[in-house]
Amino acid sequence: MKKIILLIFVLVGIISSCTKGYDDLNKDPLKTNKVPTTSILTGVLQSMININSGLGYNKTFMLYSQQWSQRETTTRSLYVMDDTSSDWSNFYLNGLPELQEIIRLNSGEDKSDYDKYGKNENQIAVSKILKVWYFSNITDTWGNIPYTEALDNNISFPKYDKQEVIYPLLIQELKDAANMIDENASGFVSGDLMYGGNMNKWKKFANSLRARIAMRMSEVNPSLAQNEVADALSSDVFTSNADNASVNFQNEEANANPLYLEFLTQQWTFVSKPLIDLMNSYGNGTASVPSDPRIPHYADPNQNGEYIGFPYGLTTSESLNYNIEDFSLPAVEVRAMDFASQIMTFSELLFIKAEAEQRGWYGNSADAANTYYQAITASMEQWGISSTDINTYLALADVQYNTTNWRKLIGEQKYIALYTQGANAWNEWKRLDYPVLQFPVAATAVSEIPRRLKYPLSELSLNADNLAEAISDLGSDTMTTRYWWDQ
């Protein structure tokens, strides 16, 4: 495993060293080499979870969604955002070119040279699914982005596509990928750190991810959202936590959980007071006897054996007045070296289904309550909670489903279940408006909790004209500018 990942990191390093813009991005350093596509996939998945659970992009949104609190360097909790060029390039340079290369190798005249690594069409399908995950995150972070021309080798300055154009294309890409999959043929014979080459699980992920993306359009294009959510849910989707799209970090520092690496030298990240308080608000839990059995899996007890979230949105000077031993760090299992980075879970799929049922988009609206309970159950089972504790929690009066208050219940419980998935929790908070998050008094850089990231400064020199057009379409380039689906 070390040798495979090292090989890919060398290749990724070659790609990442390009600094001249999209023209360099589209120069293909893999094209003249017969690199096994299995090795390329391994590198892509490792890059993917480094974004999904990293200390840059993911940690930013763990802080914006107020699931974590910062101490000693609190700028991100106060929404003072540095240049986002690093996050932008991590998406565009570390994964997407390699996925496009897998598609090219399995589509060209010499594709027979690569079918030994898995059926050509199955390799293409997996690459398309992962491309959609990448692009969905990029557009949900910035809004209008280079999409249709971004990976075209012949275009040096790709246009920015509007988000309302991108979303239907992402959905179609997932449909095409799912239809392309041959479950009776081989997937990737090695290197598939997510599903071990199981193409049935890849098809389930494609359809489940399609349901997520379609539901994001619920407030701005409900007719398309309804059609696509219903169609996705009627297809093969996740049926248990065994289907979760997740990849474990490795038991080696070179490919370890970034949070584990952070805690080797510093304790700057804490579970937030807003999250712990919200979780204990169901059932009136206390610091010593929490009502939500997931709290001991999300957070470590403090020196007194209590679960107390660190105050959110303090200045650095204010935060240093607090004794860190009095507050809860992320749980040992969350910062374990080989922590599983969750990309999409069965619980999330069930919350999508419950909302679709409640809206009358799928199945029977009377089933929404039961699906909501199933979603909470799936989340708790994912974290190893016993059936006894699950049933006790579901019996709490304020956990009971209420059709008049469904948005709050689904919004809050989904937010809790999305712990460690910072960007996903942030996006669902924006869409459903729950939980109610308080704007920090000390945050003076912006007027509200950020809704997007500003475009990277690198684009001013690399793709200025197209960037200017994208900003003009959005109306402004601020952290509080609302793009298409966030209305």
pLDDT in tens, 233-279: 999 999 999 999 999 999 999 999 999 999 999 999 999 999 999 99
Q: How much is the pLDDT for 473? A: 98
Cα torsion for 95, 416, 266, 85, to the nearest 10°? 30
Residues 6+ apart with CB under 8 A from 278: 412, 415, 416, 435
How far from 67 is each of 90, 300, 334, CA to CA, in Å? Answer: 23, 14, 13
What are the DSSP calls for 210-222, one per residue? HHHHHHHTTTT-H
Give the whole-number percent of the chain exceeding pLDDT 70: 93
In the predicted structure, residue 9 carries a pLDDT above the cut 60 = no
Average pLDDT over residues 171-189: 98
In the predicted structure, residue 7 carries a pLDDT above the cut 90 = no
- Please report whether residue 296 resides in a domain: no
Contact 122, 186 (CB under 8 A): yes
pLDDT grade for 82, boundaries at 50, 70 and 90: confident
Average pLDDT over residues 79-88: 94
Q: Where is 247: in which H helix or E strand?
A: strand 245-248
The two structure tokens encoding residue 302: 């403090």
Q: How much is the pLDDT for 213? A: 98
Give me the chain's average pLDDT, please: 93
Evaluated on CA atoms 198, 204, 208, 213, the torsion sign reads positive
In the predicted structure, residue 443 carries a pLDDT above the cut 60 = yes
Q: How much is the pLDDT for 72? A: 86
Q: How much is the pLDDT for 236? A: 98
- Please report whether residue 188 resides in a domain: yes
| C-alpha to C-alpha distance for 294 and 369, rounded to whole angstroms | 21
Q: How much is the pLDDT for 5? A: 37
In the predicted structure, residue 210 carries a pLDDT above the cut 60 = yes
In the predicted structure, residue 291 carries a pLDDT above the cut 50 = yes
| C-alpha to C-alpha distance for 194 and 433, rounded to whole angstroms | 32
The domain tally of the chain equals: 1
- Please report whether residue 415 resides in a domain: no
Q: How much is the pLDDT for 352? A: 99
In the predicted structure, residue 174 carries a pLDDT above the cut 50 = yes
- Please report whether residue 30 resides in a domain: yes
Amino acid at 395: A
Average pLDDT over residues 94-114: 97
Domain span at residue 33 reads 1-194+444-487
pLDDT in tens, 44-65: 999 999 999 999 999 999 999 9
Question: Rounded to two decimals, what is the model's pTM?
Answer: 0.93
pLDDT grade for 33, boundaries at 50, 70 and 90: low
Q: How much is the pLDDT for 34? A: 82
Q: How much is the pLDDT for 1? A: 37
Average pLDDT over residues 467-483: 98
Average pLDDT over residues 308-320: 96
CATH code where residue 454 lies: 1.25.40.390
Residues 6+ apart with CB under 8 A from 269: 59, 68, 69, 70, 71, 259, 262, 263, 329, 330
Evaluated on CA atoms 5, 6, 11, 15, the torsion sign reads positive
Contact 482, 448 (CB under 8 A): no
- Please report whether residue 36 resides in a domain: yes
What are the DSSP calls for 20-73, one per residue? S-HHHHTS-TTTTS---HHHHHHHHHHHHHHHHTSTTHHHHHHHHTTSEEE-S-
- Please report whether residue 82 resides in a domain: yes
Average pLDDT over residues 95-99: 98
Give the whole-number percent of the chain exceeding pLDDT 90: 92
In the predicted structure, residue 197 carries a pLDDT above the cut 60 = yes
- Please report whether residue 42 resides in a domain: yes
In the predicted structure, residue 3 carries a pLDDT above the cut 80 = no
pLDDT grade for 227, boundaries at 50, 70 and 90: very high
Q: How much is the pLDDT for 223? A: 98
- Please report whether residue 316 resides in a domain: no
In the predicted structure, residue 6 carries a pLDDT above the cut 50 = no
Going along 322-447, which residue ranges are E strands?
Answer: 340-344
In the predicted structure, residue 8 carries a pLDDT above the cut 60 = no
Q: How much is the pLDDT for 24? A: 45
pLDDT in tens, 106-139: 999 999 999 999 999 999 999 999 999 999 999 9
